[in-house]
A and B are shown apart, each in its own frame.
Chain A
Amino acid sequence: MLKKIYRLTDEGNRAIIKASLCMCLFNLATLLPVILFALITDEMLNRYFGYTAGSISLWVYWGIALIVLGAIFLAYKITYRKKYLTSGKEDSILRMKLADKIRRLPLSYLGKRNLSDLTSVIMDDVAVAQNTLAIVATEFIGGLLSGIIALVILFFYDWRLSLCLAACLPIAAAVMALCRVISEGTNKRNKQKKLDISDGLQEYLENIKVLQTSPNMETYQKTLESKIKRLIPGQILYELLSGITISISYNTMRLGLGLVIIVGSTRLISGQISTVTFLLFLFIAVRIYEPLTKACEMLGELIYSLVSAKRIRDLLDYPEQTGQQDIQLSQQDIQLPQFDVTFDHVSFGYNQEDVIHNVSFTAKQGEITAIVGPSGCGKSTLCKLAARFWDVQRGSVSIGGVNVNKIDPEVLYKNYSFVFQDVVLFNDTIYNNIKIGKEDATREEIMAAAKLARCDEFIERLPKGYDTVIGENGKTLSGGERQRLSIARAFLKDAPIILLDESTASIDPENETKIQEAIGKLIKNKTVLIIAHKLRSIVDCDKIIVLKEGHLLESGIHEELMEEQGLYHRLYSLQNENIAWTVNSLS
């Protein structure tokens, strides 16, 4: 059960079960002194009334007490050790497993999902699940089990009094269940209100520049304030509902104490039970509900953790993209005859609605193919389909004649380099950041790549050169420098197909020519697919594809397209007009 729900390893599962059993032993051991108390009291009474002579053996009882004490200590210690060791180990195993799974997910899935949400599965959900395993699960299982075992043993000793002890447990459990049902609605509403607060705060902080300079600040703050205040009554209601029901349920459980006294005293008077039995049940009655109460307390947290466990499972079970049997990962080097990228009647939509309609073209090896069109026309979608970020729904995309769907993504990606605007750098040295392009690259190769990408000039200015650590996502570098590092990676990788966003060149307008130069060198003799914005920069391309709303409208070389007097012509002319714009031109 636990193994399935929390995705434990076999070893972890066994360890948690052992820990729970030890917890149960601990609980049972803490009940043992009660028996000693009853026996000793009985001995005292026997001597007091003169039934027995001599003194009570101090050493026997103290000796037994010592053994019990030792048992308590050991049981606790073993539980403790087992649960924390296991949860610590499972924690890292699960986090590595999740990270590896995320790596295997199709990029389309990653595009759809909020990245911080994914991170929170690795961080928060794993933390909740592991905490549950370490503390909640052991206490819950241990508490419940020990309560039941104790009751069963007592049942054989005196079933009537045991029944008294247990009589109200089902009612308590029912109240508990009822409590969850009643408070669930409030709980949900509160969660919604909390989300509202989050959204409100986020909007407020994001727009603080606008707010601070507008007369609306106070009004806005008031709405936010009322959002925050609106949560309070709901929270209190929830506390009231769950607090009261839990309190009722605990009290119901303890009615057993009263029953034991009433039934016990009747039976004692009529001589059906001995004094020691009565005292034993009396002592037990004040003690036995404790582990059960604890188990109940844990139940809430256990249920709470199921949400996290489910999020973890959902991620681990998400289907991966695969390739065909014969082009699996094991075959490290599939030999493709050439690297033409061909779209054959491709239609594709993220949801029900298609955003790419029946597009066919070939980007030839050694040629540059540019995709242009107004924003939202499907340029970048098309580019990403070329690398199997998504699987197309109709038609096919192939490289060198092989359908990309048949190639395992890990093998497929070896053939691509991407130069997009969203450069990802790691908080590591420049050297290691470039090295990602080729794991076994030599220092010479890395420096050569950096040089080709025009990185060497800024790297040399850095205090530690190639060994400078560049901060989170390279925050110590300018946009253009980061872009050139990503190009250096691509140089190092030297993949036959290059997917490129032309606007990457203007990410740092003050250094535009350097990036342009680097890109120029990178794309030589490759299959190049470019998303283009500045039409003047692509007039020399071997093929230009004009998209509008997912349809391939025009294609050809610049001169042909200009002659057609269509969309391309219009965009081109408009841009030439734009470039002449200046501030202050009217004055």
Chain B
Amino acid sequence: MKEKGVFVRLFSYMGKFKVTMTLSIILAAASAVVNLSAFISVYNVAKEIVRSLGDFSRLNQGRLIELGWQAVFLISLSFGLYGMAQLFSHITAYNTVAKLRIKLFKYIGALPLGYHSINPSGKQRKIIEKNTDNLETLIAHQIPDFVQSAVLPAAFLVFMFVYDWRLSLVCLIPIVIGFLILASMLKGESEGFVKQYQKSAEDISNAATEYVRGISVVKVFGQTANSFRRYKAAVKEYSDYMIKYALSMENTDSAYNTIINGIFFFLIPSGIILFNSGNNPERTILSFVFFAVLIPAVVTILSRIMKSSSNLMISKASLDVIDKILNEQPLSKTTHPKVPDDCTISLERVSFAYEADAERALNDVSLTIQQGTVTALVGESGGGKSTIASLIARFWDVQGGTIRIGGVDVRDMDYNEWMKQVSIVFQDTNLFKMSIIDNVAFYTPNASREDVLHALHLARCDDILEKLPNGADTVIGTKGIYLSGGEMQRITLARAILKDAPVVLLDEATAFADAENEHLIQKALDELLRGKTVLMIAHRLSTVIHADQICVLERGKIVERGTHTELLKSDGIYANMYEEYQNSISWRIGGKQYA
């Protein structure tokens, strides 16, 4: 039943290529039939000879040659049909996989940004590429092979009536036994095996990644591959498991191959007994020869599906992962979007947890950011600073309370419209493999070249443009083009300056750029933040002392709020943090402090 599930699901992804798939199935079936009939020609040769035995002068050589070529032709035709079936199944497979990939990346692209924060891009890319690849093999090879093997029993039922029902039945016995063995193998292989295999494969892959990533530590601390227990254990377990699994199939697999190659063992005694019984000996001889000739075709077809069975399970697992993604909840969309009057952001008793049973990242938080003011969030990591920014940008939607923009619930606003109002300047500064101009104009494709250059100028990128061979038209990521982190940051700031959105969500960089870059970045930030409604996740307290409002977060709650002066006066957590900060900036390596 499970297999059927896989095929039904696959078919639903094929779209109009169901037609080519059907064509492929028909051709595969036809190929199996033609293949069998080729052997009938060979049989006819044998028949002619047996019939004219004793007096070969009666033998019609022309007829024999004709039959011989007929057999060759039919075999060619069968291969041709099989090739066509494969061609159509490949056309289906390639197109289905492409469709599925497109569907997947579009679907993933529309998922809330929170989903992307949790799932690394590399992992997602692998699912889009590798998991669909597995389906490609299934569609391209396994479906036609399954069809062919399904034709066999049907053909034998026909032979039962046309030739000799007794010998036909005898030959059918091993075929049926073969199918039964195959079915039992599939059952044994299902769920349990695939799960264990995947776990074992995942373990070894994780251990290998960890080992390679940690190789500098391994080297520097004089570890060896052997002393690296987790890797060694995973490698051993994986290989033990593969061996154990392989050996567990040893007898069934051997039995299957013996039985499909062993039809002769059933045919020989039955043929002899029938002949010895003396009933219609000529017919018995001819039937015996018929099946003797036919058996190889049966073996060919049956041994093909052997490989397919384990692939089927892998494909199912791949399909499960794909379906799981396609069941992810996209961001809810409103049908009647409302437009806010201004950009005042207010959080009203907002609660949020990243996972259903996890501790709340935000707990009943209320906060108002007046239009045109700067609010800074400070506090220990994990306190909820970035969660607030993420919720305002709708990476996720709140679970309790509301976030309003100019009085309108963000969920009632058009997402794209809201995103036009917000610039998100976070620490990850990825640029596209495009020219700097196109990168900067990414949010504002209609901006004139002058506007873009002006934004670059405001973001203090002039030195970058000067050193690059093609100035602002230099394509990022081409060979020999190297930009430092600070330089990339300035280009992304130019992008935000050009976008000129009224709201800026800023995550201050923790990484330290060199003095010159730092200086330029600060100038660029001045340009960007001027007159905007700003929410800033601050790491260095010195940068926020002029903020209109500073909120101290601790374990998902705002525990203090006010201006720098107010907070210092109240002598609470902030005052403490500030003192600590003052200490940290006066730190001198090897200085007297800790000597």
Contacts and interface: CB of A to CB of B under 8 A. Distances in A.
In this complex, the member of A49, A88, A250, A283 whose beta carbon has the largest number of chain B beta carbons within 10 angstroms is A88
A160 to B, nearest CB: 16
A37 B292 CA distance: 7
Nearest to A583: B374
A77 B254 contact: yes
Contact of A503 (B61, B262, B511): B511
A145 to B, nearest CB: 18
A61 B258 contact: no
A236 B91 contact: yes
A20 to B, nearest CB: 16
A257 B75 contact: yes
Interface string A436-468: 110100000000000000000000000000000
B381 interface: yes
A528 B589 CA distance: 10
Contact of B42 (A110, A257, A368, A536): A257
Contact of B68 (A69, A257, A414, A535): A257
Contact of A72 (B262, B300, B486): B262
B122 interface: yes
A394 interface: no
A211 B109 contact: yes
Interface string B579-595: 01101111111111111
Given A80-B250, A198-B125, A213-B422, A513 B71 contact: no
Interface string B437-455: 0000011110000000000
B443 A214 contact: yes
Nearest to A329: B222
Contact of B273 (A58, A66, A116, A540): A58
Contact of B212 (A102, A266, A480, A583): A102
Contacts of B116: 205, 208-209
B518 A575 contact: yes
B510 interface: yes
Interface stretch (B97-105, B175-183, B338-346): B97-105
A123 B591 CA distance: 49
B219 A290 contact: no
Contact of A436 (B76, B109, B204, B223): B223
Interface string B33-75: 0000001001001100110011011010100110111011001
Contact of B265 (A44, A65, A77, A418): A65
Interface stretch (A176-184, A239-247, A303-311, A333-341): A239-247
Interface in A221-264: 221, 224-225, 228-229, 231-232, 235-236, 239-240, 243-244, 246-247, 250-251, 254-255, 257-258, 260-262
Given A207-B432, A239-B90, A262-B68, A577 B589 contact: no
B150 interface: no
Interface string B282-300: 1011001100110111011
Contacts of B428: 209
A213 B589 CA distance: 44
25 contacts: A36-B264, A48-B53, A61-B272, A62-B265, A69-B265, A73-B258, A80-B250, A84-B242, A89-B243, A110-B216, A122-B208, A123-B204, A198-B125, A247-B82, A247-B83, A261-B68, A275-B53, A282-B293, A428-B230, A511-B380, A524-B595, A537-B587, A574-B516, A582-B547, A584-B546
A374 B68 contact: no
A216 B442 contact: yes
B445 A216 contact: yes
A436 B405 CA distance: 52
A509 B98 CA distance: 46
Interface in B192-227: 204-206, 208-227
The contact size tier of chain A is 35 or more
B457 interface: no
B121 interface: yes
B315 interface: no
Interface in A271-302: 271, 275, 278-279, 282-283, 285-287, 290
B443 A215 contact: yes
Contacts of B68: 257-258, 260-262, 265
Contacts of B514: 373-375, 533, 571
B285 A427 contact: no
Contacts of A314: none
A107 B218 CA distance: 11
A431 B54 CA distance: 91
B15 interface: no
Given A41-B292, A235-B90, 15 more contacts: A62-B269, A72-B258, A84-B242, A88-B240, A107-B219, A201-B129, A213-B420, A214-B442, A216-B445, A283-B292, A374-B515, A427-B206, A582-B545, A584-B529, A584-B546
A413 B220 contact: yes
Contacts of A581: 522, 542-543
A257 B35 CA distance: 14
Nearest to B241: A88
A375 B268 contact: no
Which secondary structure dominates chain B's binding surface? helix
A96 B589 contact: no
Contacts of B106: 221
Contacts of A549: none
A93 to B, nearest CB: 9
A581 to B, nearest CB: 5
B206 A472 contact: yes
Contacts of B281: 44, 47-48
A99 B225 contact: yes
A456 B559 CA distance: 26
A378 interface: no
B79 interface: yes
Given A69-B258, A261-B45, A583-B374, A578 B518 contact: yes
Contacts of A246: 83
A246 B80 CA distance: 10
Interface string B540-556: 10111111100000000
A148 interface: no
B254 A41 contact: no
Given A45-B50, A286-B296, A541-B590, A582 B542 contact: yes
A581 B292 CA distance: 92
Interface string A85-118: 1011101100110011011000100100001101
B424 A213 contact: yes
A578 B299 CA distance: 80
B426 interface: yes
A206 interface: yes
B109 A278 contact: no
Interface stretch (A9-17, A151-159, A395-403, A515-523): A515-523
In this complex, the member of A72, A224, A511, A535 whose beta carbon has the largest number of chain B beta carbons within 10 angstroms is A72
A129 to B, nearest CB: 14
B94 interface: yes
A40 B268 CA distance: 8
B539 interface: yes
A416 B220 contact: yes
Interface in B389-438: 393, 416, 419-420, 422, 424, 426, 428, 430, 432-433
A100 B593 CA distance: 44
A528 to B, nearest CB: 7
Nearest to B517: A375
B113 interface: yes
A545 interface: no
Nearest to B522: A581
A146 B212 CA distance: 44
Contacts of A236: 87, 90-91, 94
B83 A243 contact: yes
Contacts of B282: 48
Contacts of A286: 39, 42, 293, 296-297
A553 interface: no
B124 interface: yes
A49 B53 contact: yes
A478 B257 CA distance: 57
